[in-house]
Amino acid sequence: MAFRRRAKSHPLFSQEFLIHNHADVGFCLVLCVLVALMFEVTAKTAFLFILPQYNVSVPTADGEIVLYHYGLKDLVTILFYIFIAIILHAVVQEYALDKINRRLHLSKIKHSKFNESGQLVAFHIASMAWCLYVLATEGYLSNPKSLWENYPHVHLPFQVKFFYLCQLSYWLHSLPELYFQKVRKEEIPRQLQYISLYLVHISGAYLLNLTRLGLILLLLQYVAEFLFHMARLFYFTDENNEKLFNAWAVVFVVSRLFTLTLSVLVIGFGLARVENQAFDPEKGNFNTLLFRMCVLLLVCFSQAWMMWRFIHFQLRRWREYWNEQSTRKKAAAAAAATHGKQQLKTIKRESGYHENGVVKAENGTSPRTKKIKSP
């Protein structure tokens, strides 16, 4: 009991220490793994954290190539890159977002949303470039049939597996960041929703050997999300700047249509024509009618939910826009009426006014009547 009391009172175990120094703690753990590479005794264990595991040499016409498949040791690698993501998150926050926030003087609500969008813009830029590079070098874009031919795609190139491990690491690191960044309680359910959606879809594509289709769907999703968060950043700097929201709306709808079309084409038609249609988890084959139906239902449900959120967001924007326009019209009408009254008073003062049937001057006295001389 005494040890527990001392531990709770110790600064290393305090809440404030973890919130303000979690990146430093992560950096120390990463540094320990890197130092372990220098010693022969601990080098093998350190490689479990840094490099993807389960490599297999596959003979080809040009020689042997090294491919990878997934396993439980991937969890160790994901854990290491979670700490890497925490460190990069802190670097972007401290050296970019905090400096911009000091100049903008945003409110607490806008400050939180600005930080969220800033972090996601940096992540989406890196992910889009990396994903596009993988798709181009592996030839998945030039040969669409490769998305379903020779399924299951158990053996992955190094860059494909490493990409998926880093994606899972980033979205898993977002969960403790909700605590470290002191996100408001009202914002936590919304952020948990999209973090969970990303984790389910990325891990599903990785574990069900649909990595090639998953790469293209992730690229479509990241393009739309990048435009949305860029639009939010510009909106926070200037509330009259809403042009990017219109561009995002078009790209969002197009990406939803492409996602549904490509999913139906690959899963509904492509995998249905593959000869090997048997449920064999040991070989990584899940190509059955039930499997295809479940995956398509999951994709359709997620896309429908996102479209519903999109329509709700657009209706709210239009409602706010028309309310603002009506308020401006009322204010303009009131200003015009006030200006008209002021002009009317000015005219009355210049020409005098009537009181009890007698024209009075500006100072309130009756004008003298002109005397007519008698002849």
Residue 247 · residue 227 · CB < 8 Å: yes
Lowest pLDDT segment from 231-235, 304-308, 334-338: 334-338
Helix (H, G, I), strand (E, B) or coil at 353: strand
Measured distance CA(156)–CA(71) in Å, rounded: 13
pLDDT on residue 352? 52
Handedness of CA 182, 81, 229, 90 (dihedral sign): positive
Handedness of CA 337, 338, 339, 345 (dihedral sign): positive
273: phi then psi, degrees, rounded to nearest 5? -95, -5
What confidence tier does 319 reach under pLDDT thresholds 50, 70, 90? confident
Q: Which of the two residues, 124 and 343, has the higher pLDDT score?
A: 124
Of all residues in the chain, the percent with pLDDT exceeding 90 is 55
CA distances from 60 to 65, 126, 147, 217 (A): 7, 32, 20, 29
Give me the mean pLDDT over the 341-359 stretch: 57
Which residue carries 């040009």 as its tokens? 62
pLDDT digits over 212-222, tens only?
A: 999 999 999 99
Q: What six digits make up the tokens of 6?
A: 């001392």
Measured distance CA(288)–CA(277) in Å, rounded: 6
Residues 6+ apart with CB under 8 A from 65: 57, 58
pLDDT digits over 113-140, tens only?
A: 999 999 999 999 999 999 999 999 999 9
Length of the chain: 375
Q: Which of the two residues, 222 and 362, has the higher pLDDT score?
A: 222
Cis, peptide link before residue 152, omega less than 30° from 0: yes
| DSSP state, residue 56 | E
Query: What is the residue-averaged pLDDT of the chain?
Result: 85
Q: Which of the two residues, 200 and 314, has the higher pLDDT score?
A: 200
Nearest-CA neighbor of 194 among 213, 160, 230, 170? Answer: 170
pLDDT digits over 68-99, tens only?
A: 999 999 999 999 999 999 999 999 999 999 88
pLDDT digits over 159-173, tens only?
A: 999 999 999 999 999
pLDDT on residue 124? 97
| DSSP state, residue 264 | I
| DSSP state, residue 51 | S
Measured distance CA(127)–CA(124) in Å, rounded: 5
pTM of the model: 0.82
Convert 149-178 into a string of H (helix), E (strand) and C (coil). CCCCCCCECHHHHHHHHHHHHHHHHHHHHH
What confidence tier does 16 reach under pLDDT thresholds 50, 70, 90? low
pLDDT on residue 117? 94
Specify which residues 66 forms β-bridges with.
57
Measured distance CA(1)–CA(114) in Å, rounded: 44
User: Is residue 8 classed exposed, middle or buried when 0-12, 13-18 and 19+ CB atoms within 10 A define those classes?
Assistant: exposed
pLDDT on residue 259? 96
Lowest pLDDT segment from 81-95, 217-231, 303-317, 332-346: 332-346
Has residue 5 got a pLDDT over 70? Answer: no
Give me the mean pLDDT over the 284-296 stretch: 92
pLDDT on residue 331? 77
Q: What six digits make up the tokens of 304?
A: 């429908």
Measured distance CA(236)–CA(232) in Å, rounded: 6
Q: Where are the alpha helices (DSSP H) in 53-107?
A: 74-92, 98-104
Measured distance CA(128)–CA(215) in Å, rounded: 10
